Amino acid sequence: MLKLIEGGGASQDRRSGERRLEFGDRWPYEPSPEAIDRAGLRDRWDAFIDGRFVPPAEGGYAADLCPATAEPFAAVAESTAADVDSAVAAARRAFEGAWGRLAPLERGKHLFRLARAVQERARELAVLETLDSGKPIQASRDFDLPLVASHLFHHAGWADKLEWAFHGRTPRPLGVAAQVMPWNFPLLMAAWKIAPALACGNTVVLKPAETTPLSALRLAEIASEVGFPPGVVNVVPGGPSVGAALVTHRGVDQVAFTGSTEVGKVIRRAVAGSGKRLLLELGGPSAHLVFADAPLDQAVEGVIAGAFFHQGQVCCAGARLLVEESVHDVFVAKLRDRMETLRVGDPLDKNTDLGPVGSAAQLARVRELVASAEAEGAARYSVARELPARGWYVAPTLFTGVALAHRIAREEIFGPVLAVLTFRTDTEAVRKANATSSGLAAGVWTSHPGRLLELARGLEAGVVWANSYHRFDPTSPFGGCKESGLGREGGRQGLAAYVRLEEDA
């Protein structure tokens, strides 16, 4: 007779010293780096204003460092308020001139051509993005670039159909949009902002993050090549002072920002009373809930992606794992096995899963938070792996025994660090998930559909992913609750940030 399964199920797994999986070198993968000559690098990158590259009016050039080597590989213009002035003026001329006069259908065609050009040059852009941001090439190639193109395609379609997005009201463009970018998804966030702004008939001045300016500059150049009139897309690289000059500029009608909650609050105060429209996409640690009845092996993949995709430097990273107590041990054991297979190293290598973090400052911050968690009593598990000698690398790390009061459970980590907490009931899960001031995203893994629906209502998050994580689509609006943002990006809802409705006027 069948001696099946007493108790059975994964929760009965016993792990001991002699039962372990070896992820070693029995069949090693060779290094497989993408060639950097594809990136179209140049030594000097100027601001892109009024359809051409323009040397800075007053400032000099700053070294752009490669996160994988911590060495400079390009010099980028340090724009100043004077460059912002000329960029905003160019954007205003385009808005009142060639771009503003264009029929909506023609605007859509421009976006469509840009989307096609991005697809054609996807490999070049992916390599450039990886060099500049440290993002593994598999992510830039298979995630960022396809999404960049799909956002442009999606919004190309909206350009002449805006009346259908706002029933009974007539949408009008706002004017000049000031867009300030983060460093984690430089090109993707540029596309998220540029695409709806242009589809709605606005012109754009974009300030890329100080450490990752290259792909946005290249995108502006491509836009010019495919026929966008001068001044429609302008890019002024530089540090926080350039961002401040841009968002407070009197010639700007709309401000869109993706980045930290701290800076988002500063911007919101700065534009208060100015009449400028504001779109904020901020951060905060998102909660990832795993119930005992979940498809556990797939939940492992979701949690790994949530915590370690792009080294955890994602605004909606699922850095707080809430796992039902009865499966905590087996789930953590599975996570640890899976972490052992993560390949950390040269982001240009096609087999690399985790590259470096984005900057020396970020590395210091992640290390400081890891130290705080250890000091506060959480148990640390880091993958034992020799990290590259150069560059800003962090080994994938998991903390168990984390309490809500610990800093890693409350603050945004923005590094490959996962904090594991437990719960016993649905109510406790929701309470713990909501116990932060942020509310960007959440993930729920369960086989119980009723629970999914209930949790989607109970969780204070702009996005709740069901049995999945980090799913993005241009048709789906994305944005935060609480301190995680204001407004939505993507889909029909995302257009609202870029139009004035006639009855509002």
Partner 1 sequence: MSAADAAGAAARGLLPPLGASPPVERVAAEERAAALGRRSLKRAAKVAGLRLAVRCMDLTTLEGADTPARVAALCRKAIAPGGAASDVPSVAAVCVYPSLVGAARRALAGSAVRVASVAAGFPSGLTPLATRVDEARRAVDAGADEIDMVIDRGAFLAGEQERVGDEIELVKEACGAARLKVILETGELGTFSNVRRASDVALHAGADFLKTSTGKIQPAATPGVSLVLLEAIRDFYFRTGRRVGMKPAGGIRTARQALHHLVLVKETLGDAWLDPELYRLGASTLLDDVLLQLEKERTGAYGSLEYLPAD
**Smallest separation (angstroms) from partner 1 to the CB of 191:** 23
**Smallest separation (angstroms) from partner 1 to the CB of 199:** 30
Task: State yes or no: is 483 an active-site residue.
Answer: no
- Across 135-232, where does the E strand assignment appear? 171-173, 176-180, 203-207
Taking the CB of residue 164, how many other CB atoms lie within 10 A of it? Answer: 9
List b or e across 89-117, with b for residues whose CB sees 16 or more CB atoms inside 10 angstroms. bbbbbbbeeebbebebeebbbbbbbbbeb
Helix axis angle, 240-247 to 81-96, nearest 10°:
40
The token duo for 125 is 């852009």
What is the rounded CA–CA span in Å between residue 138 and residue 345?
12
What is the rounded CA–CA span in Å between residue 266 and residue 502?
30
Q: State the residue for tokens 């949009």.
A: 177
- Which among 285, 261, 214, 289 is positioned nearest to 448, based on CA atoms? 289
Strands 176-180 and 203-207: parallel
**Smallest separation (angstroms) from partner 1 to the CB of 10:** 5
What is the rounded CA–CA span in Å between residue 124 and residue 365?
31
What is the rounded CA–CA span in Å between residue 235 and residue 205?
6
54 vs 300, which CB is nearer to partner 1? 300
3-state SS, residue 340: helix
Of these residues, 66, 315, 316, 481, which one is catalytic? 315
Burial of 13 (0-12, 13-18, 19+ CB in 10 A): middle
**Smallest separation (angstroms) from partner 1 to the CB of 392:** 24
**Smallest separation (angstroms) from partner 1 to the CB of 498:** 33
The CA distances from residue 211 to 193, 259, 359, 449, in Å, are 19, 13, 8, 43
Residues in contact with partner 1 by CB under 8 A are 1-10, 12-15, 18-19, 21-30, 32, 138, 142, 293-298, 301-302, 333, 341, 349-351, 447, 467-468
What is the rounded CA–CA span in Å between residue 159 and residue 60?
38
145 vs 209, which CB is nearer to partner 1? 145
**Smallest separation (angstroms) from partner 1 to the CB of 288:** 14
Of these residues, 281, 324, 412, 460, which one is catalytic? 281
Secondary structure (DSSP) of 396-461? -EEEES--TTSHHHHS---SSEEEEEEESSHHHHHHHHT-SSEESEEEEE-S-HHHHHHHHHHS--
Alpha-carbon 107 to chain mean position: 27
Strands 44-45 and 71-77: parallel
What is the rounded CA–CA span in Å between residue 276 and residue 45?
30
**Smallest separation (angstroms) from partner 1 to the CB of 400:** 18
21 vs 505, which CB is nearer to partner 1? 21
**Smallest separation (angstroms) from partner 1 to the CB of 322:** 18
Q: Which residues are catalytic?
A: 281, 315
